[in-house]
Amino acid sequence: MRLEEIRREFHPVLPKALRGCKLRLQEDPKGNFQAKDASVESAFPHTFHHPLLWVSTEGKEKIPPKKQTIRVGVVFSGGQAPGGHNVIAGIFDALQERFTDPTLIGFIGGPEGILENQTTLLTKEKVDLYRNQGGFDLLGSGRTKIEGKKAIEKAYQNSKDLRLQGLVIIGGDDSNTNAAVLAEAFSQKDRRIAVIGVPKTIDGDLQSDYTPISFGFHTATSVYAEMVGNIAKDASSAKKYYHFIRLMGRSASHVTLECALKTQPNFALISEECLEKKKSVFSVVEELVSLIKKRANQGKYYGVILIPEGLLEFLTDMKQLISSINEALFQGVSSVESTLQESEKKLFSALPKSIQKQLLMDRDPHGNVQVSKISTEGLLVAMVEEKLRAFPEVANKFHPASHFFVYEGRASLPSNFDANYCYSLGKIAALLLEDGKTGYMASLLHLHKPVDEWQPLALPIAKMLHTERRKGKEKLVIAKALVCFSSEAYQTFAKKRGDWELSDAYLCPGPMQFFGPSAVVDAHPFSLRKPNLGL
Ligand code: FBP
């Protein structure tokens, strides 16, 4: 039997609060959940005032009778993240438990499927095939943004034609922003089609005190850490290569931080620190050269360096350059270079041609620079080599190898953590729809504790929005959560990293495990937010 087949049989564990006979949605009695930006209210009059909801169970009550019918649509939005299929399985099972004749419809190819009415009926046979499986291949995904009156009207009309009472959007910060926009727009029409978001992204940047981490982060970082650990073993065996490893994760450095804690490389750049310390691309190169020289003094001409995918956007000089290019691109200027200031022009022309080309590429539909397409590791290697020319005794023995761990981690079989987490998220989404709630994102607190103790809840998305400049305009969006310096993960990293520079303290975590001791199979990410909410 193949592992994929064995995994299909895995029964996700539910937290106690989702296991009772009668689940209840309770308004946050403390009213602690504050809006990020009060000015959002005017744009979201129907959904802004929703309170935070807690899910609790009344296990001793009799099972309430099943309701009759419900029709729900579900869509994957944005990049793949392990566990997505379990969200669908959770929704499917919850609808079967609570309704005599439920219908779950999947939109094919992401939000585009909503606009083009591309659907598939999600039957038990189909859903069973994808339980605990990686990828998003049951439905596919896409990055189309449903924005503007015409697109929103089309999404509404198509959902109405399908007689949907609910739509679940499984996506990251931008997709959940989109869920909030649709929830508000649909509410303005007739309140009959509810929209619920689910926090997905391997980047880990959709998090808050009330969402400890997005799903997929744990699995993706486990896969990357396995590969980094293997490379570190190779480096300390061969003792001849410097590995520059860039890790996917878009802007924030959560993935790099998590992998650093799991593997203890010689050096890990954290973009947020670079921003805080106002580092330029040149000062980062200085730092790397200094590390390489220090290790050379000890006779070590090898090493492992981790680089976050979106580093360049955080370096003062590059940040400024990218922002000017963004403005020029969105104004449709034909010669972007001519609009740059002198210092920006100088930096731009000092960059390798391939990097220049990558910086000028189109932005994604949400206005983000496509950082995955900019070869930061190649740029750093080239600049370090250039600097080392002044130190021929080191340069002669400097043999760099650059890597980019990217799509390898995004579609893996989900870890037990992600399989359980996603299944619960699906259950919560279905519960919200059963109750006619709209404009909410499903979430769970206390993910660092055993599954039994996870606390399901629902966050009003409109209260998570704030204003940001995107595509040359002010937009209401959910802010990407960056690495927080007071977090336990960062503090641990900051304390230990000095020791990793010279002494090779590499860890080799090996492949993610599904069977074996609980300490291994039930592991959770180091980077979970553990807020002190008095809960
Ligand atoms: P989401 O934010 O949609 O989850 O995407 C995650 C991600 O994997 C980023 O880490 C990466 O920068 C981006 O997708 C790559 O985009 P694409 O899949 O379009 O190549």
Extents of the domains making up the chain: 3-216+414-478, 218-409+486-525
Do residues 242 and 398 make contact, with C-beta atoms less than 8 angstroms apart? yes
Q: Ligand 1 centroid to 364 CA: how many Å?
A: 10
Pocket test of ligand 1: the residue of 250, 253, 256 to mutate, having most ligand atoms within 8 Å of its CB, is 250
Class at the top of the CATH hierarchy for domain 218-409+486-525: alpha beta
Q: Ligand 1 centroid to 201 CA: how many Å?
A: 8
Mean pLDDT of the chain: 93
Helix (H) or strand (E) holding 105: strand 99-107
**Alpha carbon distance 429, 167 (integer Å):** 10
Query: Which token pair is 421?
Result: 């987490």
Predicted confidence at residue 208, as pLDDT, reads: 92
Do residues 396 and 203 make contact, with C-beta atoms less than 8 angstroms apart? no
Predicted confidence at residue 6, as pLDDT, reads: 97
Query: Alpha helix locations (H) across 214-341?
Result: 217-238, 254-263, 271-276, 281-297, 316-330
CA count, 13 A, side-chain hemisphere, 385: 14
Higher local confidence (pLDDT), 199 or 31: 199
Residue 190 has pLDDT above 80, yes or no: no
**Quick one: average pLDDT of 471-499?**
93
**pLDDT tens digits, one per residue of 92-108:** 999 999 999 999 999 99
Query: Which token pair is 176?
Result: 């959940």
**Quick one: average pLDDT of 413-417?**
98
Catalytic residue among 93, 173, 174, 203: 203
Higher local confidence (pLDDT), 358 or 234: 234
Q: Ligand 1 centroid to 176 CA: how many Å?
A: 15
Residue 308 has pLDDT above 60, yes or no: yes
| Percent helix / strand / coil, the chain, rounded to 5 | 45, 15, 40
Q: Is 83 in the pocket of ligand 1 (CB under 6 A)?
A: no
Residue 534 has pLDDT above 60, yes or no: no
Predicted confidence at residue 89, as pLDDT, reads: 98
Ligand 1, atom 18: closest residue by C-alpha: 79
Predicted confidence at residue 370, as pLDDT, reads: 78
Task: Tell if the pTM clears 0.85, that is, is over it.
Answer: yes
Q: pLDDT confidence of 369, banded at 50, 70, 90?
A: confident
Q: Ligand 1 centroid to 370 CA: how many Å?
A: 8
Ligand 1, atom 15: closest residue by C-alpha: 372
**Quick one: average pLDDT of 192-219?**
96
Ligand 1, atom 4: closest residue by C-alpha: 201
Pocket test of ligand 1: the residue of 174, 200, 248, 373 to mutate, having most ligand atoms within 8 Å of its CB, is 248
Q: Is 371 in the pocket of ligand 1 (CB under 6 A)?
A: yes
Q: Is 372 in the pocket of ligand 1 (CB under 6 A)?
A: yes
Query: Which token pair is 162?
Result: 């399908």
**Alpha carbon distance 280, 321 (integer Å):** 11
Equal CATH topology for 3-216+414-478 and 218-409+486-525:
yes
Do residues 409 and 202 make contact, with C-beta atoms less than 8 angstroms apart? yes
Predicted confidence at residue 212, as pLDDT, reads: 96
DSSP notation for 408-468: GGTSSPPPHHHHHHHHHHHHHHHHHHHTT--SEEEEEE-TTS-GGG-EEEEEEGGGGEEEE
Ligand 1, atom 7: closest residue by C-alpha: 79
**Alpha carbon distance 323, 105 (integer Å):** 40
Do residues 527 and 487 make contact, with C-beta atoms less than 8 angstroms apart? yes
Q: Ligand 1 centroid to 30 CA: how many Å?
A: 36
Q: Ligand 1 centroid to 504 CA: how many Å?
A: 32
Coil, helix or strand at residue 462: helix
Atom of ligand 1 nearest to the CA of 406: 8
Q: Is 250 in the pocket of ligand 1 (CB under 6 A)?
A: yes
> Among residues of the chain, what percentage have pLDDT more than 70?
96
Pocket test of ligand 1: the residue of 203, 256, 364 to mutate, having most ligand atoms within 8 Å of its CB, is 203
Hey, how many other C-beta atoms are within 10 angstroms of the C-beta on 484? 16
Q: pLDDT confidence of 484, banded at 50, 70, 90?
A: very high
Q: Ligand 1 centroid to 55 CA: how many Å?
A: 31
Q: Is 249 in the pocket of ligand 1 (CB under 6 A)?
A: yes
**pLDDT tens digits, one per residue of 22-46:** 678 888 877 778 888 888 899 999 9
**Alpha carbon distance 407, 430 (integer Å):** 30
Residue 535 has pLDDT above 60, yes or no: no
Do residues 189 and 156 make contact, with C-beta atoms less than 8 angstroms apart? yes
Query: Which token pair is 288?
Result: 């790397």
203 is catalytic: yes
Pocket test of ligand 1: the residue of 87, 370, 372 to mutate, having most ligand atoms within 8 Å of its CB, is 372
Gyration radius of the chain's alpha carbons: 24
Atom of ligand 1 nearest to the CA of 373: 20
Ligand 1, atom 11: closest residue by C-alpha: 250
Residue 79 has pLDDT above 60, yes or no: yes
Q: Ligand 1 centroid to 79 CA: how many Å?
A: 5
**Alpha carbon distance 181, 10 (integer Å):** 36
Q: pLDDT confidence of 244, banded at 50, 70, 90?
A: very high
**Among 126-130, 187-191, 366-370, 395-399, the least confident range:** 366-370
Q: Ligand 1 centroid to 145 CA: how many Å?
A: 14
- Nearest CA to 270 among 285, 254, 291? 254
Predicted confidence at residue 532, as pLDDT, reads: 62
Predicted confidence at residue 533, as pLDDT, reads: 61
**Among 4-13, 365-374, 495-504, 514-523, the least confident range:** 365-374
**Alpha carbon distance 160, 163 (integer Å):** 5
Atom of ligand 1 nearest to the CA of 81: 4
Contacts of 392 (CB under 8 A, 6+ apart): none
Residue 147 has pLDDT above 70, yes or no: yes
**Packing angle, helices 173-189 and 149-161, rounded to 10:** 70
CATH 3.90.1150.10 corresponds to the domain 3-216+414-478? no
Residue 364 has pLDDT above 80, yes or no: no
Query: Which token pair is 342?
Result: 């002198």
**Alpha carbon distance 438, 476 (integer Å):** 18
> What 8-state DSSP symbol labels residue 80?
-
Ligand 1, atom 8: closest residue by C-alpha: 79
Ligand 1, atom 19: closest residue by C-alpha: 79
Helix (H) or strand (E) holding 477: strand 473-478
